[in-house]
Amino acid sequence: MYKCKLFFQLQKPLNKILMHFRLRYVKVLFSYFNIGYFRFLKTLMLKTFQYIFLLLLVLVSCKEKNESQEESFVATIEKEQAVPVYDFEGFEPYLQKENDTLYIVNFWATWCKPCVKELPYFESIGEEFADQKVEVLLVSLDFPEKLESHVLPFIEKHQLKSQVVLLDDVDSNTWIPKVDESWSGAIPATLIYSRNERKFYEGSFTYDELLTELNTFLQ
């Protein structure tokens, strides 16, 4: 949690100031008949209010900084939750759904130029065929430590609407054949499947090529 350093830095000098005034007021108290009681009382109240005002100013500044950091922390958590990170065991159910929906699962990464080039085609397909129970899943193979610095800004910049997950499993020799026996591990790669049919494609698509493959499933 954030601690207001300014408050602790000022606390010691403020205490010295207050002690200074206390000693001064004790001395003045013995001679108040010479300076006047009301002048003494006015000075005391003025310095007291100045001290209280300064203290409140520091506390308000601390509170605003705390709230700002908490909001930033919550925003980061919400973004990370929007792109869950799985090992293959946690991810595998996405490849085995048995219902009346057609799934397009695209494996990509922010550093893969062919992947980035074809992403708009998957986005368009997802929007155009949403009413026909077609769902697009974008599986990022970026390193998990790049999630906040690369993946999330990429999603925001390109305004991706499809669901995005990040697959983090170093045992690629084990899980790649489970996606498809023919997959060498190169990306981009795409799996299109329904309850009754399943096809895997290693390589990039044009929009027309992707649309043609999709229609073979929808016929």
**Each residue of 84-135: pLDDT tens digit?**
999 999 999 999 999 999 999 999 999 999 999 999 999 999 999 999 999 9
Whether residue 14 has pLDDT greater than 90: no
Residue with tokens 């520091």: 58
Kindly state whether residues 26 and 104 are assigned to the same domain. no
- For the whole model, what pTM was predicted? 0.65
**Confidence at residue 52, expressed as pLDDT on a 0 to 100 scale:** 76
Whether residue 27 has pLDDT greater than 60: no
Once rounded to an integer, what is the mean pLDDT over residues 190-211? Answer: 97
Of 55-64, 155-164, 179-188, the range with the lowest mean pLDDT is 55-64
**Confidence at residue 199, expressed as pLDDT on a 0 to 100 scale:** 97
Q: What is the CATH number of the domain that holds 181?
A: 3.40.30.10
Kindly state whether residues 210 and 102 are assigned to the same domain. yes
Kindly state whether residues 106 and 56 are assigned to the same domain. no
Write down the mean pLDDT value for the chain: 81
Kindly state whether residues 67 and 156 are assigned to the same domain. no
Domain with 58 in it: 5-82
